[in-house]
Structure 1
Amino acid sequence: MSSATTDGTTTGRLRGKHALVTGAASGIGRAVATRFAAEGAHVVFADRDLPGADRAVAELPAGLAGTATAVQVDVTDEDSVAAAYARVLAGTGPLDVVVANAGVQLFGHDAPVADLDLDVWRRTIDVNLTGTFLTVKHAVRAMRGRTDGRRGGSIICTGSPTGLNGEGRDFTAYSSSKAGVHGLVRTVAAAYAADGVRVNTVVPGYTETPLVTAISGDAASRAAIVSRTPLGRAGTPADVEGIMVYLGGDEATFATGAIFRVDGGMTSL
């Protein structure tokens, strides 16, 4: 199965690969998983919301029928993560690409550090950092244990400008969790490069998804954040797909431990 580019040509850049994307029931995760399927991969849509993941699979374009499955996973629970990987490896086969994308941003609760409740900190860290850690941990185990003659694979983590600059000064827990993801990626990339496991971070800018309705639904807040984006507009999930395809494919075999920014120039300021 190949996908169509804007000029009508086809690519199929992930043909024959097996991929798993967390947080794939909606937003960036759903867009990336759908694009992976269009690029020829067999994709596992993984999410705590299994009905949502099933719906995302069922709503794939007709030509992609049979290229995807859904699996339920709670990324904060290691037993759930391990079981999901075991199911995927037994059913789909060895994984070539894993996207650790599941995340939360607790608008109305996250706050500057002096005002932040410990429970909000823990809930955010559990999903965004511990969840990424568990997803990456079991991805590395799966990729190092391949028995199909291939070597390693590509792990992609979703970061945030808030982990790079002062953009998230009012979101202490979220910003800290994403900074932790950036550090985790560098460490894992260095530790497993010799095994052929590549690990990179993609940093979307302000991207309008169900995660950020607190901003997108408030005209003043939306205008303020767009004004800090040099390209002058909000991002969409489609803006993130291309770099994920590149990192998951064979063109990126020399890329690891890096941060790829797709943020409209926000962190260039």
Structure 2
Amino acid sequence: MGERLHGKRALVTGAASGIGRAVATRFAAEGAQVVFADRDLIGAEQAVQDLPGAVAVRMDVTDEDSVRAAYEQVLTDGAPLDVVVANAGVQLFGQDAPIADLDLEVWRRTIEVNLTGTFLTVKHAVRAMTGRSGANRGGSIICTGSPTGLNGEGRDFTAYSSSKAGVHGLVRTVAAAYAHEGIRVNTVVPGYTETPLVTAISGDEASRAAIVSRTPLGRAGTPADVEGIMVYLAGDEASFATGAIFRVDGGMTSL
């Protein structure tokens, strides 16, 4: 592993498991000082074991006081925060549904975590990154999107699809508003990626086969498939990339 993020400080939400944990761990391997942020503090603490310089903080992305406190904790020493990955999310299998059958509380819970949680994470990331100059100017914010926010892949997941479409729109808006500050904001769209979030699919042979069949590369994704593009966007190689959608979905949204 190289040192492409040497000297950078990064915060990743949802870092106790799945894509978030894989990305945060890869950032550490690439030389970054990484904050593993998650509402599951025990899981985050377990994730940082044996990672020198990595720390765990509790952050409930649906609670602005929790988000604010986590950022304040991270920034106490005055060192800049260069990268934030807004990754925390939920997909309520067995509850999310086509709109005529969707319960309002399922809608609200999904939007609260996926869209409002991203809003709060990005809001405080921007506050941490604005007004800096010289080598510390700006930063990179990366949000985790979904194919369901781009096409009809999530037709049975009204709340989840809508929340991720909202994230895509939020990224474009924030990227345009803060480019003058040197803050870059991009979306990474993983395809079907086997993590604890999707056990309802991965544990059902027929469902898994159906979604893999819609992926031109012919296999499920893994968290490791997402790490590389996140490293690129976090680093200086991506200094001219902002407001964009980077698809790592095995070709799913190319159809």
Shorter-chain TM-score tier: over 0.9
Residue of structure 2 equivalent to 1:117: 103
1:8 aligned partner: none
RMSD between superposed Cα atoms in Å: 1.0
Residue identity in the other structure for 1:152: G
Q: Which residue of 1 aligns with 2:6?
A: 15
Could you tell me the TM-score, scaled by structure 1's length?
0.93
- In the other structure, the counterpart of 1:185 is 171
Instruction: Tell me what 1:33 maps to.
Output: 24
3-state DSSP of counterpart to 2:240: coil
Q: CA deviation at 1:94?
A: 1.1
Indicate the residue corresponding to 2:142 in structure 1.
156
Instruction: For structure 2, list consecutive stretches of 5 or more residues without a partner in the other structure.
Output: none
The answer on 1:46 being equivalent to 2:32 is no
User: Of 87, 92, 98, which aligns to 1:106?
Assistant: 92
* Contact persistence 2:131–2:181 (CA under 8 A): no
For 1:37, what is the secondary structure of its paired residue? helix
State the 1:145 CA deviation. 3.9
Aligned residue number for residue 224 of structure 1:
210
Give 1:134's aligned residue. 120
Q: Identify the match of residue 169 of structure 1 among 155, 164, 168.
A: 155
* Preserved contact between residue 94 and residue 148 of structure 1 (Cα < 8 Å): no
TM-score for the superposition, normalised by structure 2? 0.98
1:163-213 Cα distance to aligned partner (Å, 9 max, x none)? 000000000000000000000000000000000000000000000000000
Residues in 2 aligned to 1:101 and 1:251: alpha-carbon distance in whole angstroms: 21
Match of 2:191 among 188, 193, 205: 205
Q: Which runs of 5+ in 1 are unaligned?
A: 4-10
State the number of aligned residues: 255
Distance 1:55 1:42, change over 3 A: same
Q: Which residue is 1:7 aligned to?
A: none
Q: What is the Cα deviation at residue 149 of structure 1?
A: 4.8
Q: Which amino acid aligns with 2:67?
A: V
- Could you tell me how far apart the structure 2 residues matched to 1:168 and 1:216 are? 16
Aligned residue among 200, 212, 223 for 1:214? 200
Residues 233 and 41 from structure 1, CA distance in 2 versus in 1: closer, same or farther, beyond 3 angstroms?
same
Rounded to whole Å, the distance in 2 between the matches of 1:91 and 1:115 is 49
Give me the whole-angstrom Cα distance separating, in 1, the residues matched to 2:13 and 2:76. 18
- Compute the displacement of 1:93 (Å): 2.1
Runs of 4+ that moved beyond 4 A: none
Deviation at 1:147, TM superposition (A): 6.8
Identity %: 85
8 Å CA contact retained: 1:18, 1:92:
no
Task: Tell me which residue corresponds to 1:96.
Answer: 82
Deviations 1:203-241 (A, max 9, x none): 000000000000000000000000000000000000000
Say which SS state the counterpart of residue 103 (structure 1) adopts. Answer: coil
Return the alpha-carbon distance in structure 2 between the equivalents of residues 264 and 91 of structure 1: 41
Specify whether residues 155 and 255 from structure 1 end up closer, same or farther in structure 2 by C-alpha distance, changes over 3 A only.
same
CA distance in 2, matches of 1:185, 1:134: 13
Q: How far apart are 1:150 and its partner, in Å?
A: 1.3
Tell me if the contact between 1:96 and 1:154 (Cα under 8 Å) persists in the aligned partners: yes
Distance (whole Å) between structure 2 residues aligned to residue 92 and residue 161 of structure 1: 38
